[in-house]
Amino acid sequence: MQPIPLTMAPGRFGATTRRDAWWLAPLGVFFALSAFIVYSTWAALQGANYSFGPYLSPMYSPELFGDSPHALFGPRPGWWPALLPFSPAILVLWAPGGFRLTCYYYRGAYYKAFWADPPSCAVGEPRSSYWGERSFPLILQNVHRYFLYLALVFIVFLSYDVWRALWFENPATGEVSFGLGVGTLVLALNTTLLGGYTFSCHSLRHLIGGGIDLLSKKPARMAGYHCVSCLNRHHMLWAWTSLVWVGFSDFYVRMCAMGVWTDVRIF
Amino acid sequence: MSTTFQIWRGDKGSGAFKEYQTDVAEGMVVLDAVLQIQAEQAFDLAVRWNCKAGKCGSCSAEVNGQPRLMCMTRMNQLPAGEAVTIEPMRAFPHIRDLVTDVSWNFAVKKRITPFTPRPPDAPDGTWRIAQEDVDRVQEFRKCIECFLCQDVCHVLRDHRLHDRFVGPRFLIYAAALEMHPLDNENRIADLREAGGIGYCNITKCCTKVCPESITITDNGIIPLKERVVDEFYDPVRKLLRVFRS
């Protein structure tokens, strides 16, 4: 293809004749994502107050190694370098983090909010050079489907955490009984929202049937494709609600563990 | 009610906004006002239009900075009491006033491998297609080629990579062919190289401005990006292809 001679000069950074508050959405994304990154990094590095009774913070799940009763393989491993800070969250949080980082929705959102590429639709950009997702480093975004596979495994673990959050131990007798606490509901909603986000993924939509042109010959995959497509229409909503709630779920468990909040047993 | 319009006047990129006042009546669209100004005050104002029904895609322009069809933008959708700015699309060579040269798009379209159906299913030369298999591509066929999506795409508008990126219009055109149940052609390598699909960074601006409400990014571009991943960036798929062959 040949370049074409454009005669209208490109706009300077921020130049636009738009009358609406175009800066509001990218600014909101910038502050919301920044707040989450700061909180989740802080929470992940604490390595304490991440479990309370049958509850386990979703930022620490699955707890591979750790001090809580939820740990799958016992306490901190001996091979962990002494110089590195240890937290069970560090071992697992990179996977859901990578899933969100490479998510098609978040990519569009943070390119605008953090890199102004573009700041908003039909608004001038700060840079003239542009590589897109064709070359390093952004070509790595194509790894998204592998993070999806990991995210699906995490949904299994989070569902198991909700199951465990239904069984309460009597501290006096050690007897375990079925029950429901506010924390159970918090964790159940968290898994539901994360499930909605994961199952509405564009890559899953492609893998389950989007890549097939003759779907009518594969009725099971066609049904799956329609289900994922239905969820996918609200992928942005799933992305934000699940992000906020996973942060709140960690905060809830942390507050209970620190004795600041009291978990109310419904029955 | 008298309303102020600031309309871009000039040739080949040079020019400036010129102010006009005209009466706006209930039910008028921006194109009505522009044609009224042309008839009463600016006889030489260049504006391209045809159907006035949102189906020909001729009257594309930027109204208050937003790429829109002038004939589908009702005056009561715009902020009352404020001047309305109207300027030509920025992603194409400017000819005069509100008119741009969109012929680059037609040249790009010719380079995309055309529809190549499989051999007919029946002896009379006809095919059998399940409705659910063509449902998906029907959405893309609503495109009226107004090129607003091309205009708003920052890869073309700001970075001017017309020689390396075909733009959202032709990605969904390719998607309509690529996902068609009868089509036998594979355009994925072309989309990655000459089509420059990797330049799209999913801002969804194209989807937002589409007057036909085509979900360009989610239903067209991202599925094509995933097909590119299938062929070029997924090592497991590559390995499976080796074993299968």
Mean pLDDT for B182-188 is 96
Please tell me the predicted confidence (pLDDT) of residue A75.
Answer: 93
Which tens digit of pLDDT belongs to each residue from A2-27?
667 777 777 889 999 999 999 999 99
- Is B162 in Cβ contact with A145 (below 8 Å)? no
Closest partner CB to B203 (pick from A112, A134, A143):
A112
Q: Is A36 helix (H, G, I), strand (E, B) or coil?
A: helix
Phi then psi dihedrals of residue B133, to 5 deg:
-80, -25
Q: Residue A1 above 70 pLDDT?
A: no
- Per-residue pLDDT band at B175 (split at 50, 70, 90): very high
- Residues B180-196, mean pLDDT to the nearest whole number: 96
Cα gap B10→B99, rounded to integer Å? 10
Q: How far is B183 from chain A (nearest CA, A)?
A: 9
Residue A49: the pLDDT is: 96
Q: What is the DSSP letter of A217?
A: G
What DSSP assignment string belongs to chain B? -EEEEEEEE-BTT--EEEEEEEE--TT-BHHHHHHHHHHHT-TT-------SSSSS---EEEETTEEEEGGG-BGGGSPTTSPEEEE--SSS-EEETTEE--HHHHHHHHHSPPP-BPSPSSTTS-----HHHHHHHHTGGG-----HHHHH-HHHHTS--TTT---HHHHHHHHHHHT-TTB----HHHHHTTS-GGG-----HHHHH-TT---IIIIIIHHHHHHHIIIII-HHHHHHHHHH-
Q: Set out the domains of chain B in order of their start, with CATH numbers.
A: 2-100 (3.10.20.30), 103-244 (1.10.1060.10)
Q: Which residue has the tokens 């949080």?
A: A93
For residue B99, what are the β-bridge partners? Answer: B96
* CB-based burial label for B243 (10 Å; 0-12, 13-18, 19+): exposed
Q: Share the mean pLDDT of chain A.
A: 95
The arithmetic mean of pLDDT across residues A144-151, rounded, is: 98
Question: How many CB atoms are located within 10 Å of the residue A163 CB?
Answer: 14
Which of B203, B207, B231 is the mutation pick for testing A, counting most A CBs within 10 A?
Answer: B203
- Can you tell me which residue has the tokens 């895609």? B57
Strand partners, B68: B61
Write the residue in B93, B133, B233 that is nearest to A4 by C-beta. Answer: B93
Q: Do residue B209 and residue A117 have CB atoms under 8 angstroms apart?
A: no
User: Chain B: nearest CA to A32, how far in angstroms?
Assistant: 18
Residues of A in contact with B179 (CB under 8 A): 213
> pLDDT-derived band of residue A230, with 50, 70 and 90 as boundaries?
very high
pLDDT > 70: what percent of chain A? Answer: 99
Amino acid at A91: L
Q: What are phi and psi of B148, to 5 degrees?
A: -65, -35
For residue B38, how many other CB atoms are within 10 A of its CB? 17
The confidence score (pLDDT) of residue A2 equals 65
At B78-123, the pLDDT tens digits run: 998 899 999 999 999 999 999 999 999 999 999 999 999 999 999 9
- pLDDT (average), residues A208-235: 96
Chain B residue whose CA is closest to A232: B218
Summarised one tens digit per residue, pLDDT across range B120-170 is: 999 999 999 999 999 999 999 999 999 999 999 999 999 999 999 999 999
Instruction: Determine the distance in angstroms separating the CA of B179 from the nearest CA of chain A, rounded to an integer.
Output: 5
Cβ contact (<8 Å) for A107 and B201? yes
Q: Nearest CA of chain A to the CA of B165: how many Å?
A: 9
Cα dihedral across residues A34, A39, A40, A42: positive or negative: positive
Residue B103's nearest CA partner among B93, B114, B112 is B93
Indicate the pLDDT class of residue A34, thresholds 50, 70 and 90: very high
